């Protein structure tokens, strides 16, 4: 499957997006030629599954992993990485990218060049310089990054679009957290990262399947990768807010007979502190439940079949 001439391997998930993926393959062929192998993971697409017939003329060598059922974007990427990472050789590089065109082939070249220019970094991630989504989506995305920073003490300003060395790919593939959240797993791996500002392109075809509900789930999964740190910070926030609430209640009692205006202000602060305590308690319980059920090994996903087109010279 993977040959010495393949200098770059791309893992990309596909879910009912075969037309966009076909355009991407054509563009990748123009940029990389026969030095590229694409592993397209069809995530149990119910309507428009990816097939060999969808691979256009001029496309690079392509392998399609068809999953038996839909497992989600992150698990699909993890499956592709588990499949190809053990085969990687020292001279090769691996890229994770979306198949809808929002991660461009030209940006792939920029990521690879940036990675190879670094002395220590083994993973180069795309930090979004310009996004093309709606204002509502961008607002919620900023809120997600802020919540992640507050819950874990870490900054996450990148997504799945990244390039890495074979050793980095193999380490990621061994992490059970990978199937929960790829970007957070890259942070949790403690491997040296380098960030490159990259503009997000527009989709080749169709509309994005990421809505508010899925964005919330995606954000919570990122926090769950660092559940131990998040639980510790939530407990500290719970203790602080409970202490502040108790102190404010004492002040309210002392001011009850003196100033009604001051009493209203203190009462408002006490309500806010109590609400914060409740939120912290709920988050702590959620993260503890996830930590108790977290897998100790990378889960295996059933691959229904593997198809490939290799244009041998």
Q: Is residue 189 part of a domain?
A: yes
At 199, list the tokens: 């503009």
- Note the pLDDT of residue 296: 45
Q: Is residue 53 part of a domain?
A: yes
- Note the pLDDT of residue 313: 47
pLDDT for 112-154, tens place per residue? 999 999 999 999 999 977 666 667 777 877 888 888 888 788 8
The enclosing H or E element of 70 equals: none
Q: Is residue 273 part of a domain?
A: no
pLDDT for 181-202, tens place per residue? 999 999 999 999 999 999 888 8
Angle at 224 between CA 222 and CA 226, to 5 degrees: 90
The half-sphere exposure of 44 on its side-chain side, counting CA atoms within 13 A, is 13
Q: Is residue 120 part of a domain?
A: yes
Residue 74 buriedness (CB in 10 A; 0-12 / 13-18 / 19+):
buried
Calpha distance 244→125 (Å, rounded): 41
Angle at 183 between CA 181 and CA 187, to 5 degrees: 110
Nearest to 283 by CA among 178, 111, 150, 117: 150
The yes-or-no verdict on residue 281 having pLDDT over 80 is: no
Lowest mean pLDDT among 21-35, 115-129, 272-286: 272-286
Q: Is residue 279 part of a domain?
A: no
- Note the pLDDT of residue 278: 61
Look over the chain and give the mean of its residue pLDDT values, rounded to a whole number.
83
Q: Is residue 46 part of a domain?
A: yes
Where in 2-149 does DSSP place strands (E)?
8-14, 36-42, 61-67, 93-96, 123-130
**What is the sign of the dihedral through the CA atoms of 23, 66, 214 and 140?**
negative
Structural domain of 186:
8-138+155-215+297-309
3-state secondary structure 249-266: HHHHHHHCCCCHHHHHHH
Contact predicate 25/62, CB 8 Å? yes
pLDDT for 200-235, tens place per residue? 888 887 776 666 677 778 778 888 888 777 767 766
Q: Residue 131 sits in a domain of what CATH number? A: 3.90.550.10
Nearest to 103 by CA among 216, 4, 198: 198
Check residues 312 and 157 and name the one with the higher pLDDT.
157
Q: Is residue 73 part of a domain?
A: yes
Q: Is residue 254 part of a domain?
A: no
Calpha distance 49→42 (Å, rounded): 7
Where in 60-147 does DSSP place strands (E)?
61-67, 93-96, 123-130
Contact predicate 245/270, CB 8 Å? yes
- Note the pLDDT of residue 132: 60
Rg, the chain, Cα only: 23
Can you tell me the mean pLDDT for 71-81?
94
Calpha distance 200→40 (Å, rounded): 20
Query: How many domains is the chain partitioned into structurally?
Result: 1
Contact predicate 142/215, CB 8 Å? no
Q: Are strands 93-96 and 158-164 parallel, antiparallel or unpaired?
A: antiparallel
Task: For residue 227, report the phi and psi dihedrals to the nearest 5 degrees.
Answer: -60, -35
């Amino acid at each position: 499957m993977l040959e010495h001439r393949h200098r770059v391997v791309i893992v990309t998930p596909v879910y009912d997006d075969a037309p966009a993926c076909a355009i991407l393959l054509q563009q990748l062929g123009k940029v990389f030629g026969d030095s590229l192998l694409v592993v397209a993971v069809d995530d149990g697409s119910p309507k428009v599954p990816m097939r060999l017939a969808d691979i256009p003329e001029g496309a690079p060598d392509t392998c399609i992993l068809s999953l038996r059922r839909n497992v989600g974007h992150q698990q699909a990427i993890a499956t592709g990485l588990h499949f190809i990472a053990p085969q990687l050789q020292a001279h090769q590089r691996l890229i994770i990218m979306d198949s809808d065109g929002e991660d461009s082939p030209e940006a792939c070249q920029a990521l690879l060049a940036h990675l190879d220019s670094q002395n220590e970094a083994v993973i180069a991630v795309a930090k979004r310089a310009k996004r093309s989504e709606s204002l509502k989506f961008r607002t919620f995305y900023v809120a997600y990054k802020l919540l992640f920073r507050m819950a874990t003490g870490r900054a996450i300003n990148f997504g799945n679009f990244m390039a890495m060395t074979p050793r980095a790919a193999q380490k990621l593939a061994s992490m059970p957290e990978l199937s929960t959240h790829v970007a957070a797993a890259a942070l949790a791996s403690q491997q040296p990262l380098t960030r490159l500002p990259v503009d997000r392109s527009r989709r080749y075809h169709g509309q994005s399947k990421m809505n508010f509900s899925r964005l919330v789930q995606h954000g919570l999964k990122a926090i769950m990768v660092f559940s131990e740190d998040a639980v510790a910070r939530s407990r500290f926030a719970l203790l602080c807010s409970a202490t502040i609430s108790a102190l404010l209640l004492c002040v309210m009692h002392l001011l009850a007979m003196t100033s009604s205006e001051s009493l209203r202000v203190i009462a408002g602060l006490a309500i806010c502190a109590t609400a914060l305590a409740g939120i912290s308690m709920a988050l702590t319980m959620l993260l503890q439940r996830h930590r108790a059920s977290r897998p100790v090994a990378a889960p295996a996903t059933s691959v229904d079949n593997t198809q490939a087109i290799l244009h041998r010279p």
